Amino acid sequence: MISVNITSAKAHLSSLLKQLEESNEEIIIERAGKPIAKILKYTPIKDFNRLGILRNKINIANDFDQWPDDIAITLGVKD
């Protein structure tokens, strides 16, 4: 873990990012000796398909958007 103050982080951001890239060591940015931010190496999420996350886990009935007859008549959408 590398700890730097804000001024040093601003002045040496490029070299800090290069270190992060090469060593995979996280960088902690501090203000007055207290940690305020952490910079981590980016790692993409593999095989993540948000739209298909529930595929084959839920079932929607073919008539789910049709009113039952008694309610449809009450609402006036069916005679």
The residue ranges of every structural domain in the chain are 1-43
- Confidence (pLDDT) at 54: 79
**Residue 17 to residue 21: CA distance in whole angstroms:** 6
Q: The whole model's pTM is what? A: 0.56
- Confidence (pLDDT) at 11: 98
- Confidence (pLDDT) at 43: 86
Point out which residues pair with 5 in neighbouring strands.
30
Token reading at 77:
């959408």
Residues 1-43, CATH architecture: 3-Layer(aba) Sandwich (3.40)
Placement of tokens 């789910």 in the chain = 64
- The tens digit of pLDDT for each residue in 16-55 reads 999 999 998 999 999 999 999 999 999 887 766 677 777 8
